[in-house]
Structure 1
Amino acid sequence: MDAIPSWPAFLLAVVLIAASPGPAMALILRRAALGGFRAAVPTVLGLELGLYAWALLAAAGFAGLVAASEVAFLVLRVVGAAVLCWLGVQALRAAWCERSAGRSGTTALPSSRRGGWAGFGEGVIVQLANPKAAVFVIAFYPQFVPADRPLFATTAVFALVQVALETVLYLLLAAGVARAGTWFRRPRVRAWLEGVSGTVLVGLGLRVAVTSR
């Protein structure tokens, strides 16, 4: 993959994409703030595996079929919206329980500390159930793949570089947020964070529900 002139532009685009807000960043921030760095790592890996899977599916032509099919795109859109809204409702429920416990002077149940595999699966599902991910990879990678290079192999390498770079950036973000974990896990702050996270996730789910190709 040497001598590809589009590498600098590709790397810059990946950094800008990773820095943009969306379901991935919302999940990572919530996990790191409430569970610490170790809780965020599986979610980051799951999200990046989902992204890499979409990239390979795009290179093989499957993602294009999904984006072009009205039924497939609708099903994916409904599933993606349902997953994000479910995660948002869970966070809002946790915020309500935290506030109720604070008003009554009792101790709230700790936020659900799902294991690593659960966080990993959550990341994979959120990424694979996102119809905008399918549209994104179809439009994104062909811009950087030279015409004289094999599409599948070159896309796979580009996607691997993106996954590696995003993983590093997201883990750095998670580490930074986790350093303030004690403050985030104070009852009032945790309730506020759960409420904000839940609202953002539900909003993203509704946006996915009405998204078009």
Structure 2
Amino acid sequence: MLTLAQALPFLLAAVLVTASPGPDNLMVLGMGMSRGRWQGIAFGLGCALGCLSHTLLAVVGVSAVIAASPWAFTALKWAGGGYLVWLGLQALRSAGSGPVAASLAPRQGWQTLFLKGMLANAINPKVVLFFLSFLPQFVVPAQGQVGWQLAQLGGLFTLQAALLFGLLGYFAGTVGGWLNRRPRAGLWLDRVAGLVFVGLGLRLITQR
């Protein structure tokens, strides 16, 4: 099982990453504002559960790398750390999110929106790279069962994403209006997320 020293820092970083303005949560906001809170919740839950596919890839891929060679795992950590630093620098340089738009697309059932959200997340190659970079640094190889540790971390990420996206869908009108009235709020969320990414990337590169 994960230790508290693993779970708490991971959960804090995961919440900051999920809350920072990005395609997924902005789509959830737009969906909730235009089609209703339950449609927004359905789409958001689909996006969150799409993370399970990336968790599976991380479990299989990282476990295989560790089994292949310690040097390969070190190379993966350096590559993952560099990717996180790059993401952080991009966020620090960004101009913040634009206004949250309410989509005027035809209304659809919550089942369809749930599946669309899951598919949109599952096929996103950037999310695959993020999971391969983000999850391994919270793994403690000395504890053994690396695959099980990765699965628990991915499950924890999915649960917090489902909660946050569900709340975003439910309060979409209120949150979207607040962000549209305060464009600099998105900018500061990007800055915080950027610092988190850079810090995590450097930690992954330098840890032994």
For residues 52 and 11 of structure 1, the distance between their equivalents in structure 2, rounded to whole angstroms, comes to 16
For residues 44 and 156 of structure 1, the distance between their equivalents in structure 2, rounded to whole angstroms, comes to 21
1:122 maps to which residue?
116
SS at match of 1:61: helix
For residues 58 and 180 of structure 1, the distance between their equivalents in structure 2, rounded to whole angstroms, comes to 33
1:39 partnered with 2:39: yes
Which residue among 140, 146, 149 is the counterpart of 1:146? 140
Aligned residues: 142
Contact 1:56 1:152 in 2 (8 A): no
Residue identity matched to 1:142: P
Q: Deviations over 1:11-57 (max 9, x none)?
A: 11111111112221121011110111110122112111211111111
SS at match of 2:158: helix
For residues 163 and 151 of structure 1, the distance between their equivalents in structure 2, rounded to whole angstroms, comes to 18
- Give the Å deviation of 1:155: 1.2
For residues 58 and 35 of structure 1, the distance between their equivalents in structure 2, rounded to whole angstroms, comes to 34
Contact 2:2 2:152 in 1 (8 A): no
Residue identity matched to 2:151: A
- Give the Å deviation of 1:171: 1.6
TM-score (norm 1): 0.59
- Give the Å deviation of 1:9: 1.1
1:136 partnered with 2:138: no
1:2–1:125 CA distance, 2 compared to 1 (3 A): closer
Matches within 5 A, 1:2-13: 2-13=2-13
Matches within 5 A, 1:160-199: 160-178=155-173
SS at match of 1:127: helix
- Give the Å deviation of 1:117: 2.0
1:155 partnered with 2:150: yes
TM-score (norm 2): 0.60
Residue identity matched to 1:173: L
Say which is worse superposed, 135-144 or 16-25, in terms of deviation.
16-25
Identity within the alignment, %: 29
Q: CA RMSD in A?
A: 3.0
The gaps in structure 1 that reach 5 residues or longer are 69-91, 96-109, 184-213
For residues 113 and 151 of structure 1, the distance between their equivalents in structure 2, rounded to whole angstroms, comes to 43
For residues 141 and 55 of structure 1, the distance between their equivalents in structure 2, rounded to whole angstroms, comes to 9
2:53 maps to which residue?
53
Q: Deviations over 1:130-149 (max 9, x none)?
A: 11111101111110011123
Q: Deviations over 1:127-168 (max 9, x none)?
A: 122111111011111100111231221111111111111111
For residues 180 and 136 of structure 1, the distance between their equivalents in structure 2, rounded to whole angstroms, comes to 26
Contact 2:18 2:161 in 1 (8 A): yes
Q: From the CA coordinates, give the structure whose radius of gyration is larger.
A: 1
